[in-house]
Structure formats: C-alpha cells, structure tokens
Amino acid sequence: MARTLIAAEVPMGTRASRKLAFIWRLFAVLGLVAAACSPAPSAPTQPPAGQPKIPGAPSEIKVGLVTFLSGAASGPFGIPARTAAEVWVDKLNREGGIGGAQIKLVIVDENVPTDQQVVQLRRLALDEKVDLVIGYISSANCLAVAPVAEELKLLTVLFDCGTNQVFEEGRYKYVFRTAAHTGIDGIGAARYLLMVKPDVKTVAGINQDYAWGRDSWEIFIRALRKLKPDVQVLDTLWPRLQQNEFSGEISKLLSLKPEVVFTSFWGGDFVSFINQARARGVFDQTTILFNNDGSNIEEFGKDLPDGIIIGFRGPHWIEYPDPNQNPLQKEFIDLYRAKYGKYPMPHGSYHVVQALQGVKAAYEKAAQAAGRWPTVDEVIKAFEYLEFDSPSGRISMAIGYGHQAVEPAVYGITKLDPQLGFSRLDRVKVFPVKCVNPPDGVKTLDWIDQGFPGAQC
C-alpha cells in the first residue's frame, strides 16, 4: 500500500531499464546466473500464512519514503528505490507486515532544495503523522535532516546517501543508516587498484565539484598514499555537477598521461565522460577507475571499453550474492521481475530493501523483548548493533555506535563478452567488511592515516 504525497513521475520504460531486462534474459539463456536458468518466472506463489500479530499492534504502520522521483538522480537511483520499496512492502504485507501491522508508504519526491527537505520532514512528522521515515539519496540531504529528526524525535532510516560524515561528525539517537558509507568505495578502490596494478606510479582525479566528489577523492587518495606512499598525483580536476561536456578536462588528461584516473562520476556525467574519453583515445593510454557506478554497465552494449575498474558500495551485483545461496536475493529478483519485467538496479533498489528489512527486524526484536507493540525508544534500543538478513546478505549495524551499517566492497574490471554483446566484470574481488570499514568509534580518515589498524583483508 502506497500513497504519493509529492511526486513528479518519470516513465519507467527507459532505455537502460529495457536493456537491463534484456541482459538478464541473456544471463538466463547462457546459464551465467544460476537463479535465472529457468524460463521467465510467472507471478510468485502465495507466501505462507502471515505471522501472529503482536499484542497491541496497530492496523498499519505509516512509513514516509523520500527518494528522487524527478531530476538527474531519479533514473539510476530514485525510481528504482521506489519500485523496489513497493515490491518489498507488498511482500511483507502479504506475510503479515511488521508484527501484524500493515506497512503504508507515503512517498515524497526528494528533488527539492536542501532547505526544503527539512520542511518536508516536518510535514511528514506533524501533518502526515508517519511512524518513521526511510529516505535520502543525497548526502547533503542526509546531513540536513539528521538534526531535525532528532528534534522531532522521529525514527529516520537513511537508506542510500554516501557521506561518512553523518555518524563520524554527529551522534544521533533517532537516526540510523542501513547501508555502508562511502569509506568502502575509496578504500576498496585503493586496495583493488594495487591488487591489479601493484606498480602504479602516477594517478589523476576527475570528480564532480561538490561534497560527494571531493569526499570520494579524499578517501581514495589518502588510502592509496597510505598503502603506496610513492604514488604521484599529477592533477585533480573538478568539473561542475551535470556538466556533461568534458573536452577541456579530457585534453588535460591526454597531456598528463597518468597511469590511472580515479573518478566518482555517476548518471549522465558517467555516460558522457565514457563516450567522450573513448572517442579521444583516453582508454588507450590510461586505466579509468570508477568507485561506485556499476549501474550503468549495461547502458553501453559493445561500446564500453575493456579494462575499466568499477566498484559497488556493497554486494549489489547481478551475480553476488549468488541467488542460489541467498533465498532473499532470489525472492527479490523474482518478485521484481514478475512485476516490472526487469531486474532491480544496484544501490537504490537494494539499499531501500535493506532499510525495510532493518526496520522490520528492529520492531520485531523490540516487540519480542517487550511482549507487546514496542515504543520508539524500545525500537531504537533494538536497532542499535542489530544484525539482519537482506538480499545483499547479512547486514550488521556495527559502527556509528550501532547506528551505521557495514558492508563488503565489490570491484571488478570490464571485459566484453562477445557472446553476450556487452561487458561483464572480470577479476571480481569482494573485500570483506573488516578490510574496508573502520572500527566502531573511529573516523574513516583517521583509520586510514593510522594505517588501517585491525583491518582483516
């Protein structure tokens, strides 16, 4: 059950969506993904009878969902998050909701100025009277709403934003994040680069000139310099967000000839940079490392150059976790495909389901301890340091004093598969949680500068 409070719908039938569905059908034909080796699934079978209702449970639990429904981030992140949330809420409600309470989504478009996010959060709490909020893809928005959620005493679960600053620079009672922060992107990128190019000597950076781009570069280069102090940075380039035209920057990179170029581009900037750099021969002389944009691989077909390093913030890839080894992964894929005829996109889709799974687990753990429907304070206590299952595997709220999830980092190298007609990831490496996440109470950059004490790789 869902209601859109503020929304500017974007059509679902995008080129990327159609191509992703086609890719997965090819995987099924060739047997590359075991879970897809059978014909396209029919509508999922009816799940078993719902769980017993918790004493005192309301008829419904009202959840505000804030995600991009319009703007540049809607296609790769926001709308896939909405559709995944609707699929998963339908499943949970058929199985009894949360402790017998049906989940009702109130969906809000995140595509408003940052100061308006605060207004929207207050409206959700005071006018819509939601029980909790799951939301926010933009790091700036996460930083803006966290203190307001505390003021409102509103349970708020951040599901996708990347900034490590939320719990490293602040301490919150009512705010949680059920996905890893960007520390694993940069640390994983540095470790993977040295695994595949141990003798690298020169690097450059090209990142969008805002918090995400600058934080991504800072974490990566600090980690790389700690692991290989003799690496030389030839230049750092800072085009504006959604610039989409990079002729000047590409000329500079061609002149500098770095062995590796690190970038955190996403969405349209990712696509434009690849196309323009390929046309001018950048890939003939330089390895490009994208820290967190596996969602666009299928966009290019045969045109994506071999040898690009691409990462994922968490195990949200079509072959990892293996659907045959993770029943929730298989169920999520089957449910999503049955409804939309395609497969869930990385990041937004998987991250919002992680948030829903975390909320459900926290409420039910708290209810079990109390013997009745829990208070918000009891849910918060249960949420801290919680572990729960998801389509991405076991999630642990292990850092940020129990408010921040940790995940593995996944990296690989693009390689065209002629039989498929598009690139797959070669030389895939999954860096375990304790290899790429700082310990509880330790800031990411401090951990890097100290030499990653306690890391287990």
Q: What is the pLDDT of residue 296?
A: 63
Please tell us whether the domain made up of 183-318+408-449 is placed in CATH 3.40.50.2300. yes
Q: In angstroms, what CA-CA distances link 27 with 33, 35, 150, 319, 400?
A: 6, 10, 46, 10, 39
Residue 133 to residue 421: CA distance in whole angstroms: 41
DSSP state of 107: E
State both tokens at 47. 């799940």
Residue 137 to residue 157: CA distance in whole angstroms: 11
**39 near 83, Cβ under 8 Å?**
no
Q: What is the pLDDT of residue 46?
A: 36
Question: What are the residues facing 410 on neighbouring strands?
Answer: 312, 430
CATH top class, domain 2-181+322-406 = alpha beta
**108 near 5, Cβ under 8 Å?**
yes
Q: Which residues contact 217 (CB under 8 A, 6 or more apart)?
A: 186, 205, 207, 236, 262, 264
Residue for token digits 């085009």?
239
Q: In angstroms, what CA-CA distances link 82 with 156, 162, 293, 336?
A: 17, 18, 19, 12
pLDDT digit string (tens) for the chain, length 457 residues: 566 654 333 333 333 334 444 444 433 333 333 333 333 333 333 334 456 789 999 999 999 999 999 998 898 899 999 999 999 999 999 999 999 999 999 999 999 999 999 999 999 999 999 999 999 999 999 999 999 999 999 999 999 999 999 999 999 999 999 999 999 999 999 999 999 999 999 999 999 998 889 999 999 999 999 999 999 999 999 999 889 899 999 999 999 999 999 999 987 888 899 999 999 999 999 999 999 866 666 667 788 889 999 998 888 877 778 889 999 999 999 999 999 988 888 788 999 999 999 999 999 999 999 999 999 999 999 999 999 999 999 999 999 999 999 999 999 998 988 886 777 889 999 999 999 999 999 999 999 999 999 999 9
Q: What is the pLDDT of residue 5?
A: 56
User: Whats the size of the chain, residue-wise?
Assistant: 457
Q: Where are the domains of the chain?
A: 2-181+322-406, 183-318+408-449
Helix (DSSP H) and strand (DSSP E) numbers for the chain: 15, 16
Q: What is the pLDDT of residue 28?
A: 38
**117 near 152, Cβ under 8 Å?**
no
Q: What is the DSSP string of 329-361?
A: HHHHHHHHHHHHSS-PPTTHHHHHHHHHHHHHH
Q: What is the pLDDT of residue 439?
A: 97
State both tokens at 97. 């909701």
Q: What is the pLDDT of residue 210?
A: 87
User: CB-side exposure of 238: number of CA atoms within 13 Å?
Assistant: 11
Q: What is the pLDDT of residue 298?
A: 64
Q: Give the pairing type, strands 102-109 and 132-135.
A: unpaired
Q: Which residues contact 106 (CB under 8 A, 6 or more apart)?
A: 2, 3, 4, 5, 62, 63, 64, 65, 124, 128, 130
Encoded amino acid at 60, one letter: E
Residue for token digits 């989940």?
103
Compute, in degrees rounded to 10, the torsion defined by CA atoms 319, 323, 324, 330.
-160
- CATH fold match for the domains 2-181+322-406 and 183-318+408-449: yes
